Amino acid sequence: MRTCASDRRSSFVIVAPPALSLAHAHPIKQSLLTSADASVDPTSSFQSRDPIMSRSETLFANAQKHIPGGVNSPVRAFKSVGGTPLFFKHAAGAYVTDEDDKRYVDYVGSWGPMILGHSHPEVLDAVRSQLEHGLSYGAPTAMETEMADLVCSLVPSMEMVRMVSSGTEATMSAIRLARGYTGRDSIIKFEGCYHGHSDSLLVKAGSGALTLGVPSSPGVPAAFAKHTLTVPFNDLEAVRDMLAQVGQEVACIIVEPVAGNMNCVPPAPGYLQGLRDLCDEHGVVLIFDEVMTGFRVALGGAQAYYGVTPDLSTFGKIIGGGMPVGCFGGKREIMSHIAPLGPVYQAGTLSGNPLAMAAGLTTLRLISRPGFHDELSDYTRRLLEGLQQRADAAGIAFVTTQAGGMFGLYFSDAREIVTFQDVMTSDADRFKRFFHLMLEGGVYLAPSAFEAGFTSIAHGDAELQLTLDAAEKAFAALK
């Protein structure tokens, strides 16, 4: 398999087990696969179904009357791959079902947080239980403290944590805190990395901005953008040179430890530690944006996986089991500058809302079970090996990347994917065809060549076989 292996300096060693049937599944999978999966027949055929998505087409046309572009987040519009975006109405286990009652093996997972699979009964029960006590109080709850204690116990960098309502809020607040703590204005980010849609971060961004071809958004004042310095990802010398020139003006470096918004690009060996050393040398706050990698690459996030501890970290929906939530936190010395302890203001009516805390506490406890992340990573490895074998057999230039339960797929003859330019030179047109062929085969991938894929503990042998069968036909059609 031509997989770009990441720099693994942690104890998460994966030993490949023999192929398992669902009847003899891994103990973790047996305990976490749910009654919600019982209604899903993973062996059903998608090949004979009508590929015309009339219900989705109708809904999309109606949506465009009052919703800009018909969607509430740009990447959902299928602009990168063409065609009509799917409208979903149900999700259970490893599957999503669209409005035309077509079911797909899901490798998007609500863009990462559904690590347990969809509709896990223990998570749903936790939310139902909280519903009996109210939706939102706008006041402190015991669950907020439980969540803070749990996050701080699991994540190496966390000494204090503040809950927010989204990953964008988390990164925006962490940067404001870094600026307030250091008294400096400039930040360094990396080409193709996406940290939410706050003004100072929409400069050479990834994710939907990259998908739509507008990495520097109109509406961002030049006065904001001038404080955002951008360098290539995985190029330590570029960071060194930038800090040598303006290090005394830089408040923070913010980085996705695995770049998941230009597909999935792991850090080069020694890269993250190099950033850590440079930040220490110049008095710069190092922020890991773990909205994608947190609790997914490893239980302690990418910082545990790679053995590099940032000053601040940000997390997103996974800490709420898929509910709208996020958090940022890190060193007590820095976090003590946030209001009401310090002068850096940050607030939110729905921050730490009880529904998200109930779902999140249950999710984090379930994924803390021994062996969970080994099983997740092993499924991902087997998936990528199978895809690579079928691409090679079809004579298709194809390369994959992996970090735990995250993966990237590239139509490229490159030996490895390391930089933003490597991503941009992959064959996006071929990916478009592959995406729709896989969709016809009952497999839902991210609708963009610039987005990472995600697996869940609900994915098993049946889902793997269905995916690989669809891929074999897709690769053959791409010749």
CA distances from 408 to 190, 202, 210, 445, 454 (A): 18, 23, 16, 10, 9
Q: Active site includes 194?
A: yes
Residue 289 C-alpha from the chain's centroid: 10
CA nearest to 294, candidates 338, 266, 327: 327
Question: Which of 107, 194, 271, 379 does the annotation list as catalytic?
Answer: 194
Question: Which of 29, 189, 204, 317 does the annotation list as catalytic?
Answer: 317
CA distance 218 to 199: 10
CA distance 378 to 376: 5
Long-range CB pairs of 130-137, under 8 A, 24+ apart, other chains included:
130/354, 130/355, 130/357, 130/358, 131/355, 133/354, 134/354, 135/353, 135/354, 135/355, 136/349, 136/350, 136/353, 136/354, 136/355, 137/354
CA distances from 261 to 220, 291, 319 (A): 20, 11, 19
Question: Which of 7, 37, 98, 289 does the annotation list as catalytic?
Answer: 289
CA distances from 415 to 3, 235, 381, 406, 412 (A): 9, 18, 18, 19, 8
Helix (H) or strand (E) holding 98: strand 95-98
Q: How many residues does the chain have?
A: 479
CA nearest to 205, candidates 225, 189, 187, 223: 189
Q: Active site includes 305?
A: no
CA distance 252 to 175: 7
The one-letter amino acid code at 130 reads: Q
The one-letter amino acid code at 344 reads: V
Looking at the annotation, which residues are catalytic? 194, 289, 317
